[in-house]
């Protein structure tokens, strides 16, 4: 029983064979997944796909890479979408200092507005962080994000960065990089995160786990992430699957 907590079946890479991808996920034991919309194009499609497949839920947010295109009416739009019964989180939101598309000040402003909306709605948030860990943690602390908590998506920080996130009621989600031969820090993190705060994901179609690194990722491959973490922690595979699924149900407030 696997729960892929973050994927993008709304990406163009899946336009031709989405049904087949979903069937492979089922065959791999993936019983639930969250599809993440992050801009004007992907958000409506994420909800449409969640409506199409029973096991798919949706998250809606504004990605930092697209912060430059944000306007205040988008926040009202996001708020209205949270009334949909299959929308379970706000995000992904955060900071991205790798792709130089939106000024840092603009990213921060859009990030803060979404955190405040989440607090207003009492919804968990999904955090995108690329090369911005210190600023992410600072902003979450300043905005008192612990009131809603959420998920540190595809955690890329260090072992030392884990505790401040746990202190703010965030779960640590591990993806494909934990399987990479050079993913030493990700492996260290996966071994030390408390089991009751651990999640798994694919971020499909990106970051495919070993031995599919460099190819299109898909939800079925979350099994490879689970197998790696189970081995790292010397845990029974099925136990790891059940624990991470229970955690996901809890953070997204999904009834069994």
pLDDT digits (tens, 9 = 90+) for 146-181: 999 999 999 999 999 999 999 999 999 999 999 999
Q: How far, in Å, CA of 83 to CA of 241, rounded? A: 30
CA of 28: how far to CAs of 46, 131, 173, 174, 243, in Å?
22, 32, 19, 18, 17
Token pair belonging to 155: 């955690």
Burial of 84 (C-beta count, 10 Å sphere; 0-12/13-18/19+): middle
Topology, domain 2-252: TIM Barrel (3.20.20)
User: 182-188, long-range: CB within 8 Å, 24+ apart, which pairs?
Assistant: 185/158, 185/159, 186/155, 186/156, 187/232, 188/159
pLDDT at 85: 97
The secondary structure of residue 124, as a DSSP letter, is: -
**How does the average pLDDT of the chain come out, rounded?**
97
pLDDT at 53: 98
Burial of 112 (C-beta count, 10 Å sphere; 0-12/13-18/19+): middle
For range 64-81, the mean pLDDT = 97
What pTM, to 2 d.p., does this model score?
0.97
Peptide bond into 205 cis (omega under 30): yes
Question: Of all helices (H) and strands (E), which one includes residue 194?
Answer: none
**pLDDT tens-digit profile of 36-64?**
999 999 999 999 999 999 999 999 999 99
Q: How far, in Å, CA of 225 to CA of 208, rounded? A: 10
Category of 150 on φ-ψ map: left (φ > 0), alpha (ψ -120 to 50) or beta: left
Contact 67, 102 (CB under 8 A): yes
Contact 33, 7 (CB under 8 A): yes
Task: Starting at the earlier edge strand, list the strands of the sheet with 125-130.
Answer: 2-7, 30-37, 56-60, 87-96, 125-130, 150-152, 170-174, 198-200
Closest CA to 140 of 172, 116, 122: 116
Helix (H, G, I), strand (E, B) or coil at 175: coil
- Rounded to 5°, angle at Cα 124 from 137 and 10: 100
Q: How far, in Å, CA of 256 to CA of 252, rounded? A: 11
The pLDDT confidence band at residue 91, using thresholds 50, 70 and 90, is very high
Domain boundaries, the chain: 2-252
The pLDDT confidence band at residue 100, using thresholds 50, 70 and 90, is confident
Contact 7, 219 (CB under 8 A): yes
């Amino acid at each position: 029983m696997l729960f892929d907590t973050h994927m993008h079946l709304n990406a163009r890479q899946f336009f031709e064979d989405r049904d087949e991808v979903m069937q492979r996920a089922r065959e791999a034991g993936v019983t639930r997944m969250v599809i993440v919309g992050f801009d004007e194009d992907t958000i409506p499609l994420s909800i449409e796909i969640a409506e199409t497949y029973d096991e798919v839920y949706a998250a809606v947010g504004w990605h930092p890479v697209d912060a430059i295109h944000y306007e205040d009416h988008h926040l009202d739009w996001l708020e209205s979408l949270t009334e949909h019964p299959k929308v379970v989180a706000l995000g992904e939101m955060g900071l991205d200092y790798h792709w130089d598309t939106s000024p840092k000040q603009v990213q921060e402003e859009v990030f803060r507005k979404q955190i405040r909306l989440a607090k207003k709605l009492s919804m968990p948030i999904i955090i995108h962080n690329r090369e911005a860990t210190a600023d992410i943690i600072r902003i979450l602390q300043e905005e008192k994000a612990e009131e809603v908590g959420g998920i540190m998506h595809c955690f890329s920080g260090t072992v030392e960065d884990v505790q401040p996130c746990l202190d703010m009621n965030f779960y640590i989600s591990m993806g494909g990089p934990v399987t990479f031969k050079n993913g030493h820090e990700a492996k260290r993190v996966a071994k030390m995160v408390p089991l009751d705060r651990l999640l798994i994901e694919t971020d499909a179609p990106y970051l495919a786990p070993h031995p599919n690194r460099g190819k299109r990722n898909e939800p079925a491959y979350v099994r490879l992430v689970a197998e790696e973490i189970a081995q790292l922690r010397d845990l029974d595979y099925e136990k790891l699957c059940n624990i991470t699924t229970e955690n996901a149900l809890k953070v997204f407030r999904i009834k069994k």
